[in-house]
Amino acid sequence: MKSILKYLLFVVFNISPLVAVFPDAIGENGAVTSSSKHASQIGIDVLKNGGNAIDAAIAVGFALSVTFPNAGNLGGGGFMVIRTSSGEVRTIDFREVAPENAFRDMYLDENGDVISGMSLYTAHASGVPGTVAGFEYAHERFGTKSWNYLLRPSIQLATNGFELSFRDAMYLNASRSFFLRDKESAKIFAAQDNYSVGDLFIQKDLAKTLRRISIGGADEFYKGVTSDMIVQCMKRTGGIITKSDLANYRPIERDPITFKYRDYTFYSMPPASSGGICLAEILNQLETISFDSVGFHSTNHIQPFVESERRAYADRAEFLGDTDFTDVPISTLISKSYAEIRFSDYDQYKIIPSSDMGPGEIERYDESDETTHYSVVDKWGNAVSVTITLNGKYGNGIVVDGAGFLLNNEMDDFSIKPGHPNMYGLVGKEANAIAPYKRMLSSMTPTIVDDPEDNLFLVLGSPGGSTIITTVAQIAVNVIDFGMNIQDAVNAPRFHHQWLPDLIFFESDRFSSETLSNLSSKGYELSERKSIGEANCIQIGSSGIKFSAADSRRAACALAY
């Protein structure tokens, strides 16, 4: 009976029932989907108690700092796209910034060679955190509930603990040797020799930090006791973040990257995220062809997709960086005319090697894998798409003395040496070189989509390092071009190409041998990956029904009411 009811909902509200998997949660009033059942429930509770989507997003974010410490954080940063019920769209950039004492070649030895691990596993790997400031900025601009109220559930979770899931225990156990490198980290995350499902995980120091923030706001984190703890941690570990760095941090509200794909309007992040520009490039190139008579995940579907990805990532390496430090030709890169030119050398019978495929030609210039994503929609039609990160799983593995939270290793996202790949294999050039107070380039792609009638339609995003952009692009095409509901679009197998290395990555055992053989015969080199991303997304039906989808690849949780 329940399945029949769900099917009727899909028919009545004009959501395609092409395939058998229904969204995890369906509701009239609001929806939340995140990497943690505890965080999702906290978000739903905020919505049920009269909070809006921005309130819920802030509460979810703080909850993830407790229950998903490998990516949820106080010591990292991220991006937020907000669409209000009136249709206004704004973005908040709370990306980490390089400390004042950072410099261009700080990770190179006297011979100009990269010092292995320095940009990843040391205190020098950390940028100045932005999460707390970003959440407070969003609250002041768009929130309705009290700041203290939004932090209270996370304080309780950290104080009283939560039961570990299989995923939680597996992550902690697999990273035990990593935690043991830092004495503060070891006290919390390697307190037991082995964690099991159902173990109660308590974080007293983190609870105290959250309680201080609930009273003193972002000023407490950046100028108060917590800032003193961060500086003490820098002294202990040889890091370079100072009191001045913390006191001077500011989130930035920016205009979204806005473009249309087949009459759907996309709103995504501008630099220092590369997500919005690269997403626009990929979809604009694909708009020059039709998928109407193309089989899903056939060669004729995957090949043009891969080629559009390669060209977008080649441009990423050349042109993109923090717009406060470098001129980025945004309007050109996201234009339809540039996409037509960029894709004009695509030939399905003749593959251009990445080594011969450079960036597009642009007249300079006409204008000045561990992350977590969550999506929220409320009963008024406000929507929030948020991606936050420490960069690598558990960041640099260093916990701030007495504060209970991990620091990021985001400095690796700079181009630490031209042509040298970061931990996700991405390369960069001068536009993304290190400079004090500069934001490092990111692949995070929180995105909101309106339908052709300008109604809220999709809230999208994913973790996954360099694969984030291509994951979001594929989900959008799955819904818009192939008529999938959001759950099937999220669960569908994924592939990825990022220009360099010159490989098509594909999820293991999920593509036909015929398609893989065809791609290989055309000259593509293929590489298997266990999984790509964890996209927690929401679709809104024509009558306002919310369809909330948690990615089946991990133990995510989608709720609605």
User: Tokens 């029904």 identify what position?
Assistant: 545
Name the DSSP class of 69.
T
Which residues are CB-neighbours of 560 under 8 A, at least 6 positions away? 25, 26, 27, 29, 30, 31, 32, 44, 546, 547, 548
Which residues have CB under 8 Å from 356's CB, separation 6+? none
* Residue 505 CB partners (closer than 8 Å, separation 6+): 467, 495, 496, 497, 527, 528, 529, 532
If you ran DSSP here, which 8-state letter would residue 481 be given? T
Q: Are 503 and 421 in contact (CB under 8 A)?
A: no
Q: Are 316 and 427 in contact, with CB atoms under 8 Å apart?
A: no
- Token couple for 179: 């935690």
Sheet holding 25-27, edge to edge: 25-27, 546-549, 537-540, 456-460, 447-450, 264-268, 257-261
Active site residue 371: yes
Nearest to 312 by CA among 451, 551, 497: 497
Contact 294, 300 (CB under 8 A): yes
CA distances from 301 to 148, 149, 414 (A): 49, 48, 33
User: Of 67, 226, 323, 371, which is the active-site residue?
Assistant: 371
The CA distance from 297 to 518, in Å, is 12
* Residues designated as active site: 371
